[in-house]
């Protein structure tokens, strides 16, 4: 069986950092299939890394998910999480938790303290290369998670502040979760949230941004929209998204990631 | 034998879309070698996707070529084309045809209607992940093209409007096919076209752009040009290109993709 | 055993050039693991390609290192270098030498003249695809370096002008080697250079840029810096780097690649 390692980071594409990590993985686990999810998470943006990873893992096969967005390298330990048949490896800064939850929750958590699985000597400024990548590779070759370091209580893992939407009666206060390269505006709201708020009634949904308030049709797909028309779809990850027919909704509405958005009555 | 899947899209590099498709492929066809051709086709630019793919397939080994530039997801069906020992998978919007022709023509075409090979439930807004990627992966594992859906008449496949050059007597009216990252200006003209027009006579070729008219030397390689000097070479895909010695010809001439260009007498 | 090929170029990500080379490699060496180090070396910037490659190879497993930054394609031959258990393939323009030295020096050098290992017909304008990639792939399948062409004297390989730092008494004149995507400023100076200059005395190091002179603390890691504070660390490749706590040092100091930097007394 060829093990799969997925790899997400904020290493960018103009340096060799992600390539170097892959070289380290190839040294330890030459038979593993490595899948780059993305390396252009904005530098040090743990929240975006976390949401991107969470959206990916539910689609991926059982795998070792290596994720590195590591602004607090020396103050937060590295961890390996077991979630069903998958493992997640990276810093304990909240990056891995949404993905672990998307995989059904954390079965066990371990601190990456056993130097046997690290590159030596490990640089204090590149844990991705010297700790996370080699540990992920060793896990892919069959090393037991319990061998990488002492077990820890998953409740003590660091969490990101929630981007919880507030679902009220005929009203939802939420935030933009992500804007993709097509200008689709992903919200932290599901169809279920819309139903709970009583807004899934077949009529246009009132959308309030920082700039304006407008009524937007709920549609199934881009093909239900005329060119330039705004619509709300359920995106392929299960989130509601404001989109536009053959156009970039984010440009049309002048929206940016993390902007607040209101749905429903004012 | 390890099957090869090439993968081209307009998914960009800042989202996880291409990574997710690779994760889907790894689930279905863990042994396949996946080669990213490019994922930075400009968003929804079917024509550029088509020309880029066509230039690649003639160099690649026999493979499943997965291509996704899909502005009309819900109105155009998905198709699998057989071209010699290779298969092409993607939307029926003209994206695959130039590549199929570069491979010697279409031997058979099938509609991607058999849900057995799709991800379930399939999202209406991400066919790349839920239809094209898994079908490509299944084909790579040996599923017969005739199993993915009903056979269709290749003559009914959608074609892009031609970028045909008009080759006259001592004159060619053409268009810029692509400008690459070095600023080389690829034209929709071959050496054969130049010969047919009677312009391959060893003298400089008159080049007319929207901005100016100038005489440019026909050379074999960049090394025949002094620094900054313009020249016309046959590029590595067989197209004529306006290039410059150690400089970006597109910047020198202020040219953009799809600009019209005249060769020969005014 | 699955051979490893690392691949570095200035092909960029908006064209299909690196993908096409991988397709060629897959044709010749379908079992090889190909690791992209980076393809965004600035166009024709041999020096940056050389330093990036040199930093990677010491971390990678024994491999065939394919590198293509090729501004003088027709005037400089292609070469294969043997360095320990690794091979380097690319143009003889200085690109490969720092990497070969990082691997312990050149054991043998060969000119890539034997057309048996090239793609035919070879285009005079894309040696990466037609010469370097297929030769690298053949070496990965076990072809002997001595088979790719005649042996040459390594002393005759082209060298880049040195970016040697001048290490004096309590003073070092150096240059910025690279600025990474986080804004970390890598200098062509090692901890050993600092010791030789007598500047490793536990006190702040005086740093002189084109714009200003300031005293910067020598620290072990980013965690020793408060937010925005400048520091000098030994980076993960063994070079000293000017960094900032949770900020881009290059922006703070308005520095660019290849800028001169003085360390120590004025």
**CB-CB contact of B78 with B89 (8 Å):** yes
Contact partners, residue A161, CB within 8 Å, separation at least 6: none
B-chain residue closest to A40, CA distance: B14
Task: Give the separation between CA A22 and CA A231, rounded to whole angstroms.
Answer: 41
Q: With beta carbons under 8 A apart, name residues in chain A contacting C36.
A: 19, 22
Start-end of H helices in chain B: 17-28, 46-57, 97-102, 127, 133-140, 191-196, 249-253
Give the one of A36, A221, A243 whose C-beta lies nearest to B74's C-beta.
Answer: A221
Dihedral sign, Cα of residue A178, residue A179, residue A182, residue A183: positive
Establish if B265 touches chain A: CB-CB under 8 angstroms.
no
Chains that touch A (3 or more CB pairs under 8 A): B, C
Q: Which residues is C217 bridged to in the sheet?
A: C231
**CB-CB contact of B87 with B106 (8 Å):** no
Structure confidence at residue B2 (pLDDT)? 64
What percent of chain C stands above pLDDT 90? 89
Q: Which two three-digit tokens encode residue B43?
A: 């968003």
Task: Give the separation between CA A68 and CA A91, rounded to whole angstroms.
Answer: 7
Q: Which two three-digit tokens encode residue C243?
A: 């960094």
User: What is the DSSP secondary structure assignment for residue B251, as one 8-state letter?
Assistant: H
Establish if C121 touches chain B: CB-CB under 8 angstroms.
no
B30/A2 CB distance under 8 A = yes
Q: Reduce the DSSP state of residue B211 to 3 states and report it.
A: coil
Q: What is the mean pLDDT of each run of 10 residues along chain B (266 residues)?
A: 89 96 96 96 94 95 96 85 98 97 97 96 93 98 97 96 85 95 95 93 91 95 92 95 94 94 89
What's the alpha-carbon Rg for chain C, to the nearest Å?
20
**CB-CB contact of B61 with C26 (8 Å):** yes
* DSSP labels, C233-257: EE-TTSEEEEEEBTB-HHHHHT--T
Peptide bond into B121 cis (omega under 30): yes
C246/A44 CB distance under 8 A = yes
Q: With beta carbons under 8 A apart, name residues in chain C contacting B235.
A: 123, 125-126
C-alpha neighbours within 13 Å on the C-beta side of residue B230: 18
Establish if B141 touches chain A: CB-CB under 8 angstroms.
no
Q: Which two three-digit tokens encode residue C58?
A: 């010491």
Q: Reduce the DSSP state of residue C81 to 3 states and report it.
A: strand
Establish if C117 touches chain B: CB-CB under 8 angstroms.
no
A-chain residue closest to B40, CA distance: A181
C38/A24 CB distance under 8 A = no
Residue ranges, chain A, pLDDT below 50: 1
**CB-CB contact of A76 with A47 (8 Å):** no
Residue of C62, C236, C250 for testing the chain A interface, max A β-carbons within 10 Å: C236
Q: Render pLDDT for C145-200 as a digit per residue (tens, 0 to 9).
A: 999 999 999 999 999 986 678 999 999 999 999 999 999 999 999 999 999 999 98
* DSSP labels, B222-238: GGGS-BT-EEEEE-TTS
Establish if A66 touches chain B: CB-CB under 8 angstroms.
no
Give the one of C16, C22, C124 whose C-beta lies nearest to B220's C-beta.
Answer: C124
Give the one of C40, C59, C220 whose C-beta lies nearest to A23's C-beta.
Answer: C59
Residue of A36, A38, A52, A186 for testing the chain B interface, max B β-carbons within 10 Å: A38
Q: Which helix (H) or strand (E) holds B80?
A: strand B78-83
Task: Give the separation between CA B152 and CA C206, rounded to whole angstroms.
Answer: 74
**CB-CB contact of A181 with B11 (8 Å):** yes
C-chain residue closest to B4, CA distance: C26
Task: Give the separation between CA C138 and CA C118, rounded to whole angstroms.
Answer: 9
Task: Give the separation between CA A54 and CA A188, rounded to whole angstroms.
Answer: 13
Residues 233-252 of C with CB under 8 A from A: 233-236, 246
Task: Give the separation between CA A48 and CA A60, rounded to whole angstroms.
Answer: 19
C-alpha neighbours within 13 Å on the C-beta side of residue A1: 11
Q: Render pLDDT for C95-129 as a digit per residue (tens, 0 to 9).
A: 999 999 999 999 999 999 999 999 998 998 999 99
Establish, for the pair of chains A and C, how many residue pairs have beta carbons separated by less than 8 Å.
Answer: 92
Structure confidence at residue A2 (pLDDT)? 63
Contact partners, residue C251, CB within 8 Å, separation at least 6: C183
How many angstroms away from the CA of C32 is the closest CA of chain B?
10
Q: What distance separates the 2 farthest-apart alpha carbons in chain C? A: 62
Establish if C43 touches chain B: CB-CB under 8 angstroms.
yes
Three-state SS for chain A is CCCEEEEEECCCCCCCHHHHHHHHHHHHCCCCEEEEEECCCCCCCHHHHHHHHHHHHCCCCCCEEEEECCCCCCCCCEEEEEECCEEEEEECCCCCHHHHHHCCCCCEEEECCCHHHCCCCCCCCCHHHHHHHHHHHHHHCCCCHHHCCCEECHHHCCCCCCCCCEEECCEEEEEEEEECCCCCEEEEEEHHHHHHCCCCCCCCEEEECCCCEEEEEECCCHHHCCECCEEEEECCCCEEEEEEECECHHHHHCCCCCCEEEEECC
B-chain residue closest to C122, CA distance: B236
How many angstroms away from the CA of B247 is the closest CA of chain A?
21
How many angstroms away from the CA of C229 is the closest CA of chain A?
14
Q: With beta carbons under 8 A apart, name residues in chain C contacting B40.
A: 13-14
- Phi then psi for residue A117, to 5 deg, are -100, 5
How many angstroms away from the CA of C114 is the closest CA of chain B?
20
Counting beta carbons within 10 angstroms of the beta carbon of residue C118, is it exposed (0 to 12), middle (13 to 18) or buried (19 or more)? buried
Counting beta carbons within 10 angstroms of the beta carbon of residue A159, is it exposed (0 to 12), middle (13 to 18) or buried (19 or more)? exposed
Q: Which two three-digit tokens encode residue A260?
A: 């607040």
How many angstroms away from the CA of A180 is the closest CA of chain B?
6
How many other C-beta atoms are found inside a 10 Å radius of the C-beta of residue A96? Answer: 29
Q: Which helix (H) or strand (E) holds C9?
A: strand C4-9
Give the one of C17, C23, C72 whose C-beta lies nearest to B35's C-beta.
Answer: C23
**CB-CB contact of A49 with C74 (8 Å):** no
Task: Give the separation between CA A41 and CA A44, rounded to whole angstroms.
Answer: 8
Residue of A125, A126, A131 for testing the chain C interface, max C β-carbons within 10 Å: A125
User: What is the DSSP secondary structure assignment for residue C128, as one 8-state letter?
Assistant: I
Q: Which residues is C231 bridged to in the sheet?
A: C217, C243
Give the one of B61, B180, B221 whose C-beta lies nearest to C26's C-beta.
Answer: B61
Establish if C224 touches chain B: CB-CB under 8 angstroms.
no
Establish if B125 touches chain A: CB-CB under 8 angstroms.
yes
Give the one of A36, A221, A224 whose C-beta lies nearest to B19's C-beta.
Answer: A36
Q: Which two three-digit tokens encode residue A92?
A: 């304990």
Establish if A37 touches chain B: CB-CB under 8 angstroms.
yes
B15/A236 CB distance under 8 A = no
How many angstroms away from the CA of A80 is the closest CA of chain B?
21
Task: Give the separation between CA A186 and CA B16, rounded to whole angstroms.
Answer: 14
Q: With beta carbons under 8 A apart, name residues in chain C contacting B33.
A: 26, 30
Structure confidence at residue B1 (pLDDT)? 45
- Phi then psi for residue A47, to 5 deg, are -65, -45
Structure confidence at residue C129 (pLDDT)? 97
Q: Which residues is B166 bridged to in the sheet?
A: B173
User: What is the DSSP secondary structure assignment for residue C146, as one 8-state letter?
Assistant: G
Give the one of A39, A61, A235 whose C-beta lies nearest to B27's C-beta.
Answer: A61
**CB-CB contact of B188 with B177 (8 Å):** yes
Task: Give the separation between CA B138 and CA C257, rounded to whole angstroms.
Answer: 47
Task: Give the separation between CA A20 and CA A11, rounded to whole angstroms.
Answer: 11
How many angstroms away from the CA of B115 is the closest CA of chain C?
30
B56/C27 CB distance under 8 A = no
Going by their DSSP bridges, the two strands B33-38 and A64-68 should be labelled as: unpaired
Task: Give the separation between CA C168 and CA B266, rounded to whole angstroms.
Answer: 66
Structure confidence at residue C1 (pLDDT)? 45
Name the residue among B125, B92, B138 with its Cα closest to residue B111. Answer: B92
Chains that touch B (3 or more CB pairs under 8 A): A, C
Give the one of C11, C20, C44 whose C-beta lies nearest to B246's C-beta.
Answer: C44
């Amino acid at each position: 069986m060829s093990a799969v390692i997925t790899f997400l980071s904020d290493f960018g594409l103009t340096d060799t950092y992600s390539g170097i990590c892959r070289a380290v993985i190839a040294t330890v686990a030459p038979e593993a299939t490595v899948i780059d999810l993305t390396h252009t998470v904005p530098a040090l943006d743990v929240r975006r890394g976390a949401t991107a990873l969470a959206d990916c893992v539910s689609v991926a096969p059982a795998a070792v998910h290596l994720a590195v967005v590591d602004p607090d390298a020396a103050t937060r330990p590295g961890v390996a999480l077991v979630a069903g048949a998958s493992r997640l490896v990276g810093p304990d800064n909240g990056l891995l938790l949404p993905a672990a939850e998307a995989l059904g929750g954390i079965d066990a958590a371990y601190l990456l303290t056993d130097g046997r699985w690290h590159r030596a000597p490990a640089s204090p400024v590149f844990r991705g290369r010297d700790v996370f990548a080699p540990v992920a590779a060793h896990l892919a070759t069959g090393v037991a998670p319990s061998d990488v370091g002492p077990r820890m209580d998953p409740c003590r893992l660091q969490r990101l502040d929630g981007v919880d939407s507030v679902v009220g009666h005929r009203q939802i206060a939420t935030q933009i979760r992500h804007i993709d390269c097509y200008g689709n505006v992903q919200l932290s709201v599901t169809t279920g949230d819309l139903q709970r708020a009583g807004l899934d009634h077949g009529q246009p949904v009132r959308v309030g941004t920082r700039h304006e308030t407008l009524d937007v049709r709920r549609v199934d797909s881009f093909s239900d929209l005329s060119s330039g028309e705004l619509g709300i779809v359920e995106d392929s990850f299960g989130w509601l998204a404001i989109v536009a027919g053959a156009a970039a909704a984010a440009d049309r509405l002048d929206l940016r990631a993390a902007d607040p958005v209101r749905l429903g009555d004012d």
